[in-house]
Structure 1
Amino acid sequence: MAPVHGRGFAQSWWGQAWLKALEDSALDLQQLKAGRRLARAGAVGAVSVRPGRVTAVVEDRGGARHRADVLLQRLTEEEWDRFLGMAVERAGHIAALLDREMPPHLVEDAAAAGVELLPGIGDLEPRCGCDAWDHCAHTAALCYQLARLLDQDPFVLLLMRGRGERELLDELQVRSVASAAAGTGFEDADPGSASGIDLDPSTATGTGTATGTQAGPPPNGVDAAEAFAVGSILPPLPSVPPLPSEAGRVPSLDTETEPPPGTDVAALEFLGARAAAEAHRMLTEALTPGHELRAPEAGLTPEQDAVRLAAGASGPEPWIAARLADGSGRDREGLAAAVLAWEHGGAAGLSVLEEEWSPDAETAARARTAVEAAWDAGERPPLRAARNRWTATGAGAQIRLGRDGRWWPYRKDRGRWLPAGPPAHDPAAALSAAVGDE
């Protein structure tokens, strides 16, 4: 996340409660101040959140990097059972969570059920590679950064407590269906009013009064927002089918029927084989754990798709390669360079190959800081910066800053800059790949 300037780390009340637990527990206020400075300076790396633990690499002011962990007790199965039962009874809680909100009454109702969602004094247990026994600047910086994540999504806290968003919503759906089948409906905050949903219209008379064993005034229903929130919870997905070991074979187009005039049968067979291979690749990625967290890929232009086809074909026939080069708007050498870029980074790698851009002031400052911190004093090779490209003088090597903040290695070959490997977050690692230093 970008450095913080001119505002607090937590805007939401639950984010502030997280920081209060930190500040009430820490014994050394100077370490908290140092942690705030590190977090504001953007010294906290990518934050990994999983049940019971949050982790990040934090770089201190001296340039040393330490792995920082903060542990939070996970809820027991019994506590989750009470929390889910409470949430199903109050559909407004579900609506709030889906809106990325954690209203105070949700936390209060959970506490009344014996479930503490927010951490209290001493609940945040620090562990750091600097061997500090209490909260140090690194674990404090991580906590301040996590408060920003909690502002955006309270499900981060629930994940630390032991359940991810999809798992929680699936369980709520199952319980909601079971509750409806049992005829329990929803409970209203006002115990004097009835707000259950009568799923069986035959139990009501034409005058709106209850029949059978029901007594009292007719049910008032639920608020529309609450009903809509429950309806948006999807049922559990079915089990995933097994992944085929390889792409399917393309049906033969060699038939007794002559193809229509102008139809290139060989080209159709090539495209069919590539479509099958791409479908198998996409299915493999879709079944990989964590796939749902990745950003969706943007649609490809015809020129990009021609490069993708060339990259996926192992040694295409010369006439196919020529047609793909023409379709990509390149000559044969240009297509070979584009294929290298695609193999190392897909559409993002292709963009870095073709696009030269000028970073804004903030991005440029961040890039300079990363380059200066990547090497020890006196070890950084001479680099000449031009827009988003940093060239090592006399080494035939170059690193390019992508718009995603990663560094891409390039090597000069017969007067042409060619991709030399996959991107790296560290400029030094990218340059090492560019010069061939394993």
Structure 2
Amino acid sequence: MSPRRPPAARFAGPRHDDRRRTFPALAPRESPSAQGRGVTPTDGRFAATWWGNAWVDALEDTALDPARLARGKAYAGRGHVDAITVTPGRVVAYVHGTRPRPYRTEIRLRTLGDDGWERFLDEIAARPDHIAALLDKDIPHAVEAVTGLLPAPGDLIPDCSCPDDGFPCKHAAALCYQSARLLDEDPFVLFLMRGRGEQELLAALTQRNAARSAAEQTASVPPMATVPARAALAPNPGHALPPLPPPLPAPAHPGRPPAYPPDPDAPDPLALDLLATEAAARAHAFLVTGHDPVAALTPWQDAVRLAAAHPGSGLTASTRALYRDLAYALDRTPSDLARAVAAWRQGGLAGLAVLEEPWDPPAGPFDRARPALLASDFPAFRPWRNRLSTRSLQLRFGRDGLWYGYESDADREDWWPRGTPDPDPVGALTDLLGH
């Protein structure tokens, strides 16, 4: 048996720099390996995502020579751009031209100020669908509207060691186009360009999420019954003990486990956290209902339950791996799992059924919902099976007789559970609009 290394030796290694990332040279555009996640533009544009194309537009809209842009695009497509290094406010690479020695090329841009990052973090943390989108390598349109994250025309400043004084030269244009491909693959590259590293952002989101969850849980705990110490300790000649106080009501939510610090000789902190969270959730269910909620669940339902019981799932590197592994093990995406978790947290197993199972309710409460909403001055809703929808709001009638609120960006048909279920559609919609 080999001698055991001390902890310092096992963890020795280069220090990770969250604010500097270097990406190997991308393969030529014509190669299948250059197609990243399998998403390629279908409209003739260079980038595959809306934010990648917004990056390109910021340079193209201020370019003085379309011919240089065309040559730069061709250079990028043929793989003339070497490894790209991204740091806050700067993108640098060597670009091969007609001469043997490549040119040092860079694009500079303004970093986002503290106020802009605060708006960004508040917008992301407020909605689970936005968090899920980021974890699935997507940037919600609503975030850009709030923060101004993407560069506007004139924000990108190109520079190159070549003798061409064009704005931009073909080498800077090539770097800009190739950078758009990096943004297609990973939106956190854009955040780094604007001044914040991935781990820094995820840590800030985790902190906000924990604070929000703690505030919600604290608000739901009822005050405990108390007995004055003087009365409890007063002499009692009859030796009769005072009556016991009534049992405490069951908590609204399972308890949260403590934070387990990493230690080389201890079990994995994530595994401990999962075990403790699982035990708390099942104990709470036994206390409240008297039966085990896990026995009759399908593998997918159980995966959703596990993710929903884990506070902050998906925000740190370790829990993002859990989110990903649970989803892919059942042939789903992390976004699918995040949406299902939101439904579970909204209404448990019944809430998940409302998310996934459209059905035709019998005549009765569903038919009376639209007139009730109109009478309360809400807009007209379109009916479809058990759902009533506007462009951005939706109510779903569950088999349990409750109305569940859903929300989407206007005309996107990307519905996410929001609010608290209510037997009254007006109450459910009022709660939805109040979130």
TM category (shorter chain) comes to 0.3 to 0.5
Which structure exhibits the higher relative contact order, with contacts defined as CA atoms closer than 8 Å and separated by 6 or more residues? Answer: 2
Q: TM-score, normalization: structure 1?
A: 0.42
